[in-house]
Amino acid sequence: MSKTWEHYQVAARHHERAAYQFKEAAKYHQTEEQEKAAHLAYLAHGHAHLANIHATAAARLHVRKCDVLAMTAFDQIATEKTAA
């Protein structure tokens, strides 16, 4: 499994956890249990933050991979032109 894919998977799991925590927080907010609602919102915020960190890491790895592929293709074209 590539590191990029792994980061995207972890980000997806954190997004799911954040969504669940926000949903639970909304339930407690409606029943006026403010402490539980605040705690669940805090947890949801943390999961959303971690998801963003992993999505950013995956994007950076993807860009690096694309840069390497682009430079390899560029070098190959340059070599072919000089050989001709």
For 4-21, the pLDDT digits (tens) are 899 999 999 999 999 999
Q: Determine the pLDDT at residue 68.
A: 82
In sign, the C-alpha dihedral spanning 23, 24, 27, 31 is negative
Domain coverage including residue 72: 3-83
Give the helix, strand, coil percentages of the chain, each rounded to 5.
95, 0, 5
Q: Determine the pLDDT at residue 79.
A: 74
Task: Return d(Cα 40, Cα 58) in angstroms, integer.
Answer: 27
pTM of the model: 0.71
Q: Determine the pLDDT at residue 47.
A: 95
C-alpha distances out from residue 46 to 24, 50, 68, 69, 72, Å: 15, 6, 33, 35, 39
Span 25-65, pLDDT tens digits: 999 988 889 999 999 999 999 999 999 999 999 999 999 88
Domains in the chain: how many in total? 1
Structure tokens at 43: 């947890």
